[in-house]
Structure 1
Amino acid sequence: MSKLTERLSMARTRRERGCPSMLVCSFCRSVKEENAKPSCVLGELQSLRFIFHVAREDKGISCKAHYLIPEPRRRTLSPEELACLEAKGAFSTETDDLRDQLLSLFFDYVYPILPIIDPDDFYRRYDAGGAASISPLLLQSMFLAASNFVSRDALKKSGWSSVMTMKRRFYERAKALYDVEYETDKLCLIQSVLLLGYWLGNSHDRMDSWHWIGVAISLSQSLGLHRDAGCSRIPPSQRSLWRRIWWCCFYRDRCIALGMGRAYRIHTADCDVKDLTLEDLVCTGMPLPGLKDTSAAMVRRCNMYAPMFLEIIKASRLLGDVLASVYRPRRKDEEFLESSTWNTAQALEEKLAAWQLGLDPRCRVDSPAFSVDEPRAMILHKYYIHILHHVTVITLYKPFVFQGDVLPTDPASDLRARRAWEACQLSASAATDSFRRLTELDLIRFLPPERQVSHITGLPVSINWLIDRSTH
């Protein structure tokens, strides 16, 4: 303690003489730059922030989490790197028709459940400068995510042999740009790697959805997106975009953890970022000056999708609670079907029911269209939220159903297993009805890649139901 006291005394003396450390001086100069845009996070008081707290008279630094610093310069690519990128077509923006269709598909079918981009800002830049005004990495990543939904006619017209070929090409272009560190804007990097998570790959790929969501979360935490900006000098519009991106990471983290049977990475106890609000997702500057008519119409559509993501976040919170409560690792000598676990499951089901009951009317499958201009994609997203609810219920009760070799319909089975089985059956039936309805509406192909999680989750219930029917 005496050495620490001595060091603190020396630091105070240097400060009083106007001689703070070179680190502090350098940092203070950087945050005063007029064009400073990216943020730097000092961490908690036990880390670098403590040094600033001691070395500066302004104690307000100890309560700030974010500081603006100058944007880093883009490094010069070597001729070999540039040739490799050009050979892969990394700077290709596709034909006007295909590019416009991919962007339209992105904002109708990807953006509503992953609103990582401000559509108003995007189209202002796009209308003013075309595709050249958009980061090549972000653009190729957007193309990758949207290519899941390209029609066969558009595919044939543009000369691509298959959707998989198109997806692989967009993925390879984006990954090549990522590998050479072409993009220096960390926020743009986070947006891009979140979209790279739409590349499912195969079991041998090292960089799959799990990898990319991990990169996105790490970069987000390095920027402090998981922390409340508080009294930091961050503009309100930037704070809204940060919250969007962080909660997109949160949603994808929970969803991928469920699909791949792994632990999620984001723990809410480590975060104090504010909840997302409708104002964070809606462009309030209506009408939209400076935008083309088609661009303004797309921004208005994106405003209509805003309530969807708010409900998806609520569902993701509950899904995380389910995974933490029912699927946590247990020792061999620890009984799974203990009363406390069952009671927790019952409490979670009540929360799920309360969420479903309080669902925004604009997100309910049984609600009529709220506007004559309501896009057809709204129907799809309503059903996706409905399916997400039932997948979470099945996930909650499935461990109680499949215990040993005894079927839940067997009289010898546990009472809790039978009750859990009934809940799983009801949810599996409801989810199947939703898939059937989307098929009738020719919307099933527009479901996000997460739909595979829905199929995998409900499949054991359906198989067990068929086995039970065949035995009777």
Structure 2
Amino acid sequence: MDPGEGSRLTPTPPTMPARHNRSNVCTQCKRQKQKCDRQSPCANCVRRDIPHLCHVAAARESYSSRWRHANPADAADAAAAGATVLAAATPSTTRSASTAAAQAPNAVPPSTSRSRVRPIGSAQDSPMLGQLWNSRGAASYHGTSYFGHQSAAIMMQVESPDLPVGMSGIHAGNARRGPQHQAHRSEKGPYSHIWELVGYLPRRRTIVDHLLRRFMDELNPIYDSVHEETFMNNYEAFWNRRWGDDDLTSVDLRWLSLLFVVLAFAELLDCPQDASPDTQRDREETSVHYFWASRKAIVIAPTFSGESPDLVRAGILVSRYLLYVGRKSESWLTSSFAIRMAQAQGMHVDGQSWNLPPKVLETRRRLWCTLHALDRSISLAIGRPYTINDRHCMRMNIRNVWIDDKSADDVARAEEHERPLSDPTPSIFYHYVQNLATTMGEIHDECFGLTPLTTSYGTYEKVLGLDRVLFDWAEALPPYFQLENPDTTLDAARPYLFWQRMYLHSAYHFSRITLHRTYVLLESITDRFQYSRDACMSSACADLKLKLSMRSQGMADRLKSAIAMHNLFNSALVLGIIAVRDPFSPRAPAILDDLAAYCEKQRADRWVNEFALAEIKVIELCIASAKKSRRDGGSAGASRPPSRGAEASNQGQIQEQQQRQPQQPGIWASGATDAFAGNEGMPNAESLDSWLWFGPSSFPEPMDFQVWEDLVGTLEPR
């Protein structure tokens, strides 16, 4: 067949019937099957608080144009363009991703270079950061390894298809299971969850208004967990919705989860300090009722809608609520869920790379720093792996500016002129929290990983090196955050400084005690672990002093102090064990007096929970054991047990003591006392009971009273 004959056999494009002109209905109204007023933005998108997503769908190619793309030349051009975009989206082994991204715009033909997929932000200077895409009405982050429907839409030069919304997307393959074939009030349908959650709210709006105002006035300035302006806009839209209009377009479960956890805190705030036990119990039950409603909404919301900052805020508040009631293990789970929600929105990447608006940028930075600190501290406290991998995250560029309550013009001026450290804003706190959380991660990796702990020189040098990092962090604190004699002259004008100072101090003492507690009970012939004992004693005393200084707390102050890291551990337990181990030291009487005062203060607290009472019971056991040892030692006179220095005066005496007390594990174990052993790991680790309780994963809960009773009996001098 000659070329001329082939050209004559080329079929002509088939004719299609003419269609009516395309209506200018926005994509959101079209997806929700609502009547659009054809404004920009339309009323429906404004009511749903998504004006940035209101746009008219791009014009589709005509049938004839699509058919002409079957021409071999046009198909080759389209394939080349698609291959270029694919190379830019997928890491290549032969060239860097930055080179592929730089060549992609030049390789796409002019007729096909315009993509109808509009990412929210793009990082042209740093292509390895990924992009934010519009997905189900929210920002969705995907890294450079992603190749799904968004990337495929770019390659094919078409508009990205929306993901199925709600439970109907699970059985989208069967049209009979779609929502159009279900009754509107079907109890088996997805909307039944919305009706149930809305039913948890009080029927009178004035009750919710009162609780919400208490939270905003008393807790939110310190918690920094809710952006009041946007929250109240959603709040007004929720209460002003049409009666009975409880579907996905009028009720945002993401925001509703945040409202419920705010009400859980506010219900506790609203309880009078002198309330009767029955009133107090009713308030606590109502608060827990709102708390569980929030957790249910958090779990259900991602099924119906995309990720949202409201879900992140709700997850942070839920984790703090669990810390307040003493459930650290549950808070580890809820904080991990909040972190996943934040990572899905790209909060782990500094939004400056995407040129985000200033208010959005600063808010995302603060939320991520809060999650980072929660993740590191809770994981370190309970001995479980943390969620955030620093290798996949960026360091947030925290600046000393506060623009949440400023207008657009004021925001521009504040962006240009960052305040000095002598003029602090609430944001500067997150700079130091971020640095300390990074050090906590290093402590977790170096000292409490899967590698067996040792008493070798190299291992202990790592501990001392991390202690120097903590010391340098404390030295870099500004005067109003200093550990010793801080400057409090700014507290009257900036009340948040008092609480931020307490949060930083408790975090520092928590980190230092956790770092050194492993070596508190270990003995050495050269006394090389004395520094750890002194450091642990110093931080534990400072933390106990902070707890004893907080007297006559109202509920607002109680909830503010509940999110401090000193609630992740109890310094009184550490001091109690030290007093039991060495009851004849010169500092033992003072330690016992302070511990007794602390127990008395806690028992007099009407709001103390069962976890705190369990800690008190263990501390009182330590006090009784130490006092008994002091009485027995005083009555024995010359037979009083020698001090640690006398016991460790020479190796022969230590070995003799081991032979006399073969049944006692702990500091008299051979490997723990030999400073020159040079062993690879802790020998006889199964028998080091008094050492293992300070280890990474064996710290017993105060509720395990039998374990503590056996431990205290083991440590008593004989």
2:292 to 155, 172, 176: 172
1:386-397 alignment runs, 5 A limit:
386-397=505-516
2:312 to 190, 209, 234: 190
Rg larger for: 2
Matched, 1:27 2:117: yes
| Residue matched to 1:4 | none
CA distance in 2 between counterparts of 1:233 and 1:288 reads 18
Q: Percent sequence identity over matched residues?
A: 14
1:41 to 135, 141, 157: 141
Matching residue's letter, 1:327: F
The farther-off stretch of 133-142 and 189-198 is 133-142
| Residue matched to 1:437 | 549
Q: Counterpart of 2:510 in 1: which secondary structure?
A: helix
Structure 1 residues 203-248: Cα deviation after superposition (integer angstroms, max 9, x where no partner): 9x99921221111111222221112335535222222222122111
CA distance in 2 between counterparts of 1:468 and 1:206 reads 30
Q: Is the 8 A contact 2:136 2:305 kept in 1?
A: no
| Residue matched to 1:65 | none
Q: Is the 8 A contact 2:377 2:437 kept in 1?
A: yes
Shift of 1:426: 0.9
Matched, 1:98 2:211: yes
| Residue matched to 2:561 | 447
CA distance in 1 between counterparts of 2:278 and 2:426 reads 29
Q: What is the TM-score when the length of structure 1 is the normalising length? A: 0.73
| Residue matched to 1:213 | 335
CA distance in 2 between counterparts of 1:324 and 1:279 reads 33
Q: Counterpart of 1:39 in 2: which secondary structure?
A: strand
| Residue matched to 2:272 | 152
1:118 to 213, 227, 230: 227
Shift of 1:12: 0.9
CA distance in 1 between counterparts of 2:359 and 2:236 reads 20
Shift of 1:189: 1.3
Q: Is the 8 A contact 2:257 2:298 kept in 1?
A: yes
Change (3 A) 1:228 1:263: same
Unaligned runs of 5+ in 1: 1-6, 58-67, 290-302
| Residue matched to 1:263 | 385
Matched, 1:423 2:535: yes
The farther-off stretch of 169-178 and 80-89 is 80-89
Matching residue's letter, 1:143: L
CA distance in 1 between counterparts of 2:328 and 2:480 reads 40
Q: Counterpart of 2:528 in 1: which secondary structure?
A: helix
RMSD of the alignment, in Å? 4.7
Matching residue's letter, 1:397: H
Q: Is the 8 A contact 1:197 1:212 kept in 2?
A: yes
Change (3 A) 1:330 1:127: closer
Structure 1 residues 134-183: Cα deviation after superposition (integer angstroms, max 9, x where no partner): 93221212233455655534977996634531331111221232344266
Q: Counterpart of 2:140 in 1: which secondary structure?
A: strand
1:318-467 alignment runs, 5 A limit:
318-331=439-452, 336-364=454-482, 366-370=486-490, 372-375=492-495, 378-403=497-522, 408=523, 415-439=527-551, 443=557, 446-451=560-565, 453-456=567-570, 459-467=573-581
How many pairs align?
Answer: 423
Matching residue's letter, 2:372: F
CA distance in 1 between counterparts of 2:210 and 2:460 reads 55
Change (3 A) 1:363 1:49: farther
CA distance in 2 between counterparts of 1:241 and 1:202 reads 24
CA distance in 2 between counterparts of 1:401 and 1:96 reads 52
Change (3 A) 1:354 1:368: same
Shift of 1:392: 1.1
CA distance in 2 between counterparts of 1:270 and 1:201 reads 27
CA distance in 2 between counterparts of 1:121 and 1:82 reads 22
Structure 1 residues 98-118: Cα deviation after superposition (integer angstroms, max 9, x where no partner): 332122232144x1xxx3433
Shift of 1:187: 1.8
Matching residue's letter, 1:118: H
Change (3 A) 1:97 1:304: farther
CA distance in 2 between counterparts of 1:149 and 1:221 reads 32
Matched, 1:244 2:366: yes
Shift of 1:263: 1.4
Q: Is the 8 A contact 1:228 1:274 kept in 2?
A: yes
Change (3 A) 1:366 1:140: same
Change (3 A) 1:30 1:225: closer
Q: Is the 8 A contact 1:258 1:453 kept in 2?
A: no
| Residue matched to 1:136 | 256
Change (3 A) 1:362 1:37: farther
The farther-off stretch of 255-264 and 132-141 is 132-141
Shift of 1:264: 1.1
Shift of 1:199: 3.9
CA distance in 2 between counterparts of 1:288 and 1:236 reads 11
CA distance in 2 between counterparts of 1:441 and 1:81 reads 39
Matching residue's letter, 1:460: V
Unaligned runs of 5+ in 2: 1-74, 83-107, 123-132, 168-183, 242-251, 412-423, 584-625, 631-718
CA distance in 2 between counterparts of 1:317 and 1:454 reads 18
CA distance in 1 between counterparts of 2:550 and 2:163 reads 46
CA distance in 2 between counterparts of 1:8 and 1:312 reads 55
CA distance in 2 between counterparts of 1:46 and 1:175 reads 30
Q: Is the 8 A contact 1:103 1:142 kept in 2?
A: no
Shift of 1:97: 3.1
CA distance in 1 between counterparts of 2:475 and 2:360 reads 33
